[in-house]
A and B are shown apart, each in its own frame.
Chain A
Amino acid sequence: MSTDTADRSVRRSTNSFAGDVWVNFKRWNLKAVRNPFVLVVSLVQPIIFLVLFTQVFGEVAGGAVNRGQPGISYETYLVPAIAVQVALAAAVTSGVGLVNDIENGMFEKVLVSPMNRTAVFVGKTAAEVFRIAVQVVIILGLGVLLGAEIATGVAGAAAIVGVGVLFSLWFVAFSNAVAVITKDQESTIIGANLLQFPLLFLSSAFLPLEVLPGWIQTFARFNPVTYGVDTARAIMLDADVMTVVEVSRFGGAMDTVVPGVAVLAGLALLFGGVAVTLLSRASSSNVQ
């Protein structure tokens, strides 16, 4: 028999910001593990691309690649692009997770809890970014098995993972924004997936821009994928591969990495700001 009736002063171990982030990080990771299907699906397509493209187009594409970068195998050329593709595919599921949360009531449940709302979304995003990092590592490992070479070694591989994560942020934000606006799972998947292929093909992902038609070169200049792929590729090859922006003051690969990271960080801030605004509006006037 106890006497623990309800009390006005609820005993609460202090919930810090970091604590709230951790709680949500754990929940979303648990959900990802529970749903290995999602994890696998967002890996399958990029892996198919990696294997098929290198096997089918390897000979032809290798020639085009070597006009700009002599002595590079198509595997080595393609792996950074596939790493970015993985980040893109995985980021789509972020918005889907948000829609599911809105639909099954967990979104409101979290809003009515005393957790810091920013921490809630940081925790969720951290879990997705963590998953993207793991997937990029898998792609890099597979690429090396297929014969790709990372000129900058293990440190370079880690940097490519970092670029994948940085690149994913704008698309994570984008898919969450679509999720808040549509509140509909299909629209979110379609909206984000529809963009995936045009973004990939109309960029420097699969072939050097020089061999592509002029309109694609123009589009690629404004395509975030170009900046993600070029940055990752510069680290992969340890060379300045960026052609859409000419920078020469840092020397070597840094002439690509510095502007690339700057553009990606800017995009992340821009899209992140939009998504946060939409999310906080949805949270404060959460009306059915």
Chain B
Amino acid sequence: MTTSPGEEHRRGNGAGSAVPAAIDADGLRLTYADGTEAVRGVDLRVPEGEFFGFLGPNGAGKTTTIKVLATLLAPTGGTVRVNGFDVSAEPRKIRESIGYMAQETSIDPELTAAENVRFACEAYGVPRSERDDRVAELLELVDLEDVADKRAEEFSGGMKKRLDAATALVHRPPLVFLDEPTTGLDPKARNRLWDYFRRINDRGTTIFLTTQYLEEADQLCDRLAVILDGEITEDGSPAELKRRVGGEVLEVELAEPAAADRAAAVAREAGLFGDGTVETTAEGLSVTSQQARERGTELLVALRDQGVGVTGFNIRAPTLDDVFLAITGEHLDSETGAETDPAEVEA
């Protein structure tokens, strides 16, 4: 079957240093008719075989970018090539060679699961003789073979998403766009989809994923770019981005959270953490610094000397949420995507 992972990973098969680009965008701009500058000069190069993550809060320009790459919107500036074809000159060539899963689940509720996949097979010109096998194979891949002949309107949100994902892959596209594919799914359904995305990436498929879930990007992506207000502000592997946060994170839980401001002042005045950042949290204090590990105990001592009670502390590696905080000054809650606004104090 085609579902066995890791057989022929495109990146690893010795194509030399010049891996062809699945996506090559230079100065991509999109300004809507009402003057809204949704994307303001994005440069992107995604080599074939990569699992690429496009991260950003709501309204940052993720979906607009993905729609330009998928030929649903014509860019108002820049050159954009997808699978080697220019989006303006040869959109149909691109459509033939990409899979696209929209943010909103897109299936025909009046058709059965199998009929939905079959329609996609026909739309993408899968040869007639292969259609039956392809439908069966894809439904098995997304664990819907038992409900193949049930109408999609009866499905749960997670099942609909998986069916949608199956229809995006009927023509075995070398490049797949996933626009916030797990938004609104429960953790179990999300994990199943992640498994599935990993499997198709292991088969050599390039994946362009947008998400506001940092955990999702961390789990899946080889490389990430962060988009804010239509511009890419940061890119690199999840590990690189975390390194750029500037050290580890020391979290201190105070006996009285109300004392957080005083504790922050203590941390700042002690001058322990160089150019690290100190901020107050709901529980107490959070310090991000290269010296978080070495100087942590000294902070605890300083707090005790000043009469600030400490009930717990923890030193951890930075998460992508910290990355986001460092870039934007805002938390991007990994579960809900809701933004919180911490009071930030320079140490």
Are A and B a genuine interacting pair, yes or no? Answer: yes
Chain B 8-43: CB-based contact to A (< 8 A → 1; otherwise 0): 101000000000000000000000110000000000
Q: At the interface, yes or no: A118 with Cβ under 8 Å from chain B?
A: no
Q: A3-B8, A112-B95, A114-B92 are in contact. Are A27 and B125 (CB under 8 A)?
A: no
Chain B 246-270, CB within 8 Å of chain A: the 1/0 string?
A: 0000000000000000000000000
Chain B residues near A1 (CB-CB < 8 A): 1, 4, 7
- CA–CA, A163 and B326, complex, Å: 69
Q: Do the beta carbons of B95 and A34 come within 8 Å of each other?
A: no
Which of B106, B122, B175 is within 8 Å of A109, CB to CB?
B106
Contact with A along B77-116 (1 / 0, CB 8 A): 0000001100000001001111010101111111100010
Secondary structure class of chain B's binding surface, majority of residues: loop
A106 on the B face (CB < 8 A): yes
Say whether B205 faces chain A, with CB atoms less than 8 Å apart: yes
- Residues 4-23 of chain A, each 1 if its beta carbon lies under 8 Å from chain B, else 0: 11111011111100011001
Encoded as 1 (CB less than 8 Å from any B CB) or 0, chain A from 277 to 288 comes to 000000011111
Cα(A111)–Cα(B70), bound, Å: 10
What total of A-B pairs shows CB separation below 8 Å?
119
B307 interface residue (CB < 8 Å to A):
no
List 13 additional A-B contacts (Cβ < 8 Å) besides A6-B204, A34-B111, A109-B106: A3-B7, A5-B203, A7-B174, A8-B174, A27-B108, A27-B111, A30-B110, A31-B108, A104-B108, A104-B109, A105-B105, A112-B70, A113-B120
Residues of B within 8 A of A26 (CB): 122
B73 surroundings in chain A (CB, below 8 A):
285-287
Assembly CA distance A34 to B124 (angstroms): 24
Question: Which 9 residue pairs of A and B lie closest in terms of their CB atoms, listed nearest first?
Answer: A105-B106, A5-B204, A6-B174, A12-B125, A114-B95, A113-B123, A23-B122, A15-B125, A114-B96
Do residues A113 and B172 form an inter-chain contact, with CB atoms below 8 A? no
* Contact present for A105 and B124 (CB under 8 Å): no
* Chain B CB within 8 A of A115 CB: yes
Contact A14 B125, beta carbon cutoff 8 Å: yes
Contact B128 A13 (CB under 8 A): yes
Chain A nearest CB from B79 CB (Å) reads 19
Interface string of A236-277 (1 = CB under 8 A from B): 000000000000000000000000000000000000000000
Q: In this assembly, does B173 line the interface, its C-beta being within 8 Å of a C-beta of chain A? A: yes
CA distance A1 to B173 in the complex (A): 19
Residues of B close to A113: CB separation below 8 A: 95, 120, 123-124
Q: Which of A5, A11, A287 contacts B32 (CB 8 A)?
A: A287
Q: How far is the CB of A135 from chain B (nearest CB, A)?
A: 20
Residues of chain B at interface, number, CB under 8 A: 54
Q: What residue in chain B is nearest A33 (Cβ atoms)?
A: B110
Asked whether A108 is an interface residue with its Cβ less than 8 Å from the other chain, the reply is yes
5 A-B residue pairs with Cβ-Cβ distance under 8 Å, sorted by A, are A3-B8, A30-B110, A105-B104, A105-B107, A112-B98
| Cβ distance B32 to chain A, nearest Cβ, rounded Å | 7
Closest to B131 in A: A13
- Complex partner residue of A27 from B83, B98, B119, CB under 8 angstroms: B119
A288: B residues at CB distance < 8 A: 63
Whether, in the assembled complex, B182 has its beta carbon less than 8 Å from a beta carbon of chain A, the answer is no
- Whether the Cβ atoms of B83 and A8 lie closer than 8 Å is yes
B187 on interface, CB distance cutoff 8 Å = no
Chain A contact surface mostly: loop
- Interface on B for A, CB 8 Å cutoff? 1-2, 4, 7-8, 10, 32-33, 63, 67, 70-74, 83-84, 92, 95-98, 100, 102, 104-111, 115, 119-120, 122-128, 151, 164, 167, 171-175, 203-206
A222 to B121, CA, bound (A): 46
Tell me which of A10, A27, A34, A114 contacts B174 (CB under 8 A).
A10
B69 to A: closest C-beta gap in Å: 11
Alpha-carbon gap, A250 to B284, bound state (A):
94
CB distance from A106 to the nearest CB of B (A): 5
Asked if B171 and A10 make an inter-chain contact with CB atoms under 8 angstroms apart, the answer reads yes
- Is the beta-carbon distance between B123 and A4 smaller than 8 angstroms? no
Tell me the complex Cα distance, A13–B121, Å.
Answer: 10
How near does chain A come to B106, taking the closest CB pair, in angstroms?
A: 3
Q: Is A52 an interface residue (CB 8 A)?
A: no
By a CB distance below 8 angstroms, the chain B residues around A286 are 67, 72-73
What residues on A are CB-neighbors of B74 within 8 Å?
284
Given contacts A2-B2, A284-B74, whether A35 and B173 have CB atoms under 8 Å apart is no
In the bound complex, CA of A192 to CA of B192 (Å): 44
Question: How far is B111's CA from A115's CA once the two chains are assembled, in angstroms?
Answer: 19
Q: In the bound complex, what is the Cα–Cα distance between A2 and B107 (angstroms)?
A: 29
Nearest A residue to B171, CB-CB: A10
CA distance in complex: A11, B7 (Å):
20
Whether B167 lies near A109 (C-beta < 8 A) is yes
With a CB–CB cut-off of 8 A, which chain A residues contact B95? 112-114
- Complex Cα distance, B125 from A4, in Å, reads 18
With known contacts A104-B106, A105-B102, A105-B106, A13–B125 Cβ distance under 8 A: yes
- Is A110 located at the chain interface by the 8 A CB criterion? yes
Whether A13 lies near B127 (C-beta < 8 A) is: yes
Measured CA separation A104–B32 after assembly (Å): 24
